């Protein structure tokens, strides 16, 4: 039998919100400031997923494996921060059935956390701009801890804060970073097919299921709950979670 699901850890960009237009606008404004031509939004979309630091490297180099020298990268980071502060949330759109999915997960008794590689300040700004700032009990940006996804640390931090075991938490995301982090943490993981995943087919991910929407994810959880063993018989305990954490 499987453990009851008591919480969900949900990614932000590419899972809850389509943010590529905002990110592309900031990245291209950065490039123009540095005397470089803008890149197609479709290409920039494949650069999303591993945090702002890598996005800036890729955007300046012009390809997904690109890296630039430290001086160019720092100049890009400074400019990107200015432009994204302006663009963040301006064109972002909720994916279909996001609000319905969040409501359905809560109706199942799940506690909700949003865990993203986006810096905390930009995360908080974006959630507020799109009306999602009241949806989560816990929000962790990519600089909230010493390591970010695909490291399992942020997901295990949620377990400790919520007092649940990893197998009692479902991770929901759109990319390889979400899948790797969840597997390393010992969590079941679901993927949505409409996100970014660095241009790769979501079908290649090691996940328990691909769900069409967040509402479909809630339906998956509801079915899993029917198979769950009674709470009194669970041997896993959140108190037994041993993780190494560090503050920013």
Tokens of residue 40, six digits: 């197609």
Specify the pairing of strand 111-115 against strand 7-10.
parallel
Instruction: Please check whether residue 120 is in contact with residue 156, taking contact to mean a CB–CB distance below 8 angstroms.
Output: no
Give yes or no: 11 in active site: yes
Q: What residues have CB less than 8 Å from 70, skipping those under 6 apart?
A: none
Tokens of residue 187, six digits: 């969590």
Tell me which DSSP letter residue 50 carries. Answer: S
Choose, from 11, 18, 174, 178, the residue flagged as catalytic: 11
Q: Can you tell me the distance from the alpha carbon of 86 to that of 105, in angstroms, rounded to the nearest whole number?
A: 32
Residues forming beta bridges with residue 30, ordered by sequence position:
none
Catalytic residues: 11
């Amino acid at each position: 039998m499987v453990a009851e699901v008591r919480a969900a850890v949900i990614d932000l960009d590419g899972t809850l919100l389509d943010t590529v237009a905002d990110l592309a606008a900031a990245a291209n404004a950065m490039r123009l400031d540095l005397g470089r031509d803008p890149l197609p939004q479709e290409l920039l979309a494949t650069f999303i997923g591993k945090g702002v630091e890598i996005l800036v490297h890729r955007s300046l180099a012009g390809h997904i494996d690109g890296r630039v020298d430290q001086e160019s990268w720092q100049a890009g980071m400074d400019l990107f921060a200015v432009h994204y502060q302006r663009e963040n949330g301006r064109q972002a759109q909720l994916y279909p059935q996001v609000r319905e999915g969040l409501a359905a997960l809560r109706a199942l008794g799940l506690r909700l956390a949003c865990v993203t590689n986006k810096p905390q300040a930009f995360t908080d700004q974006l959630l507020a701009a799109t009306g999602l700032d009241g949806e989560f009990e816990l929000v962790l940006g990519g600089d909230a801890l010493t390591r970010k996804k695909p490291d399992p640390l942020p997901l295990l931090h949620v377990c400790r804060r919520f007092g649940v075991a990893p197998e009692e938490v479902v991770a929901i995301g759109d990319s390889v970073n979400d899948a790797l982090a969840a597997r390393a943490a010992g969590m079941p993981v679901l993927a949505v097919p409409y996100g970014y995943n660095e241009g790769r087919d979501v079908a290649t991910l090691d996940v328990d299921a691909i769900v069409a929407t967040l509402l479909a994810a809630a339906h998956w959880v509801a079915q899993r709950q029917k198979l769950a063993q009674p709470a009194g018989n669970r041997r896993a305990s959140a108190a037994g979670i041993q993780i190494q954490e560090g503050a920013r």
